[in-house]
Structure 1
């Protein structure tokens, strides 16, 4: 069903790529700071759906078509980047739904909003498209059935991605616990807001 020699190279390769700081990992850490790990899971589900779409499209050749129409990806990048920068500015000013509130206050942000935030960040990153198109197809053995191989590789990619997202979100939660005292809420909002701004600018200019 799958070439075990290729698989032995595939796992460490994609683990290294997943754990390297990037757009989605920075976003996960930022939301881990402001919302905690449990609520950040909704962003993770959307992000993993986006990664699955990008990876599958890369193998099927759809990525080549999209990369041949850069105006479509540019529109996604700038819209997504502008939104994330807007959210980051609000967080920096301790405003908006994602800003960390005073002690005892519950943050109101919808699961749908978090889900789509993760999904759009994943699918609007042109580096993600280029990376999957370059790295994933070589791990498909032409001598073996295509769909079973793709299913196994996709499961591994998503497991690795989920584990790394949890790691980054947990790091954000740890920061929140360190700075959780009321007089440090503004500082923590500025840290999270700055990270969100970084993600937005990174997305727009990538």
Structure 2
């Protein structure tokens, strides 16, 4: 893969990742609630989902969802329901920022932080359709496909990791000024945005991809 192609992919991906979406909103709230150190488990979940999405597309899952109304609908409603669940929980939050959360003794385990970000991404069919349309633009069909998909996956994951770190750091710094009331409103706002994204996913139609 040519370096210019990889740089172009990175530039376009950066814009897409930086635009607030479900995993970015979770990074922001995790940073405010747990601090950057524990929010890193959410980063890991999102990065793991990047590899799952890209390699699933490489194996043809994106094409399956684009061709099958049934499987697209199943994945869409599972994703919308899970996203709404996460959003509603944040909206009902009383503001969980405290020393216990940052020390790792809160009710939310590191595993649950990881899974929340991972499941939010892998149950979103728009991700599969997006990568199905996006990745082939940077793939040279005359060259071995596996190294190319691997290079794109690693590049995308590194960008995702750095951007989520920035959002989590912003959330952690901001909450020190806003304190408990600020934590509550930040989580409610992010929760409302996640519910809105769940609604948009529920209304999403395959032919709109």
TM-score bracket, shorter-length normalisation: 0.7 to 0.9
Partner SS, residue 143 of structure 1: coil
* Matching of residues 50-89 of structure 1 within 5 Å: 50-89=49-88
Unmatched 5+ stretches in structure 2: 205-209
CA distance in 2, matches of 1:204, 1:76: 10
More helix by share: 2
Give 1:38's aligned residue. 37
Question: Match for residue 100 of structure 1?
Answer: 96
Q: Tell me if structure 1 keeps the 8 A contact 2:83–2:120.
A: no
Moved more, 75-84 or 34-43: 75-84
TM-score by length of 1: 0.81
- Name the TM-score, length of structure 2 as normaliser: 0.80
Indicate if the aligned counterparts of 2:33 and 2:96 stay in contact, CA closer than 8 A: yes
Name whichever of 6-15 and 195-204 sits farther off: 195-204
Alignment of structure 1 residues 42-191 onto 2, 5 Å: 42-94=41-93, 99-100=95-96, 103-106=98-101, 107-180=106-179, 182=180, 184-191=182-189
Cα distance, 1:179–1:123 mapped onto 2, change above 3 Å = same
**How far 1:109 sits from its partner (Å)?**
0.7
Tell me the distance in 1 between the aligned counterparts of 2:59 and 2:184.
Answer: 47
Distance 1:204 1:157 in 2: 26
1:5–1:76 CA distance, 2 compared to 1 (3 A): same
- 1:188 Cα shift? 4.1
Q: How many residues align?
A: 200
**Contact 1:27/1:196, CA 8 A, preserved across alignment:** no
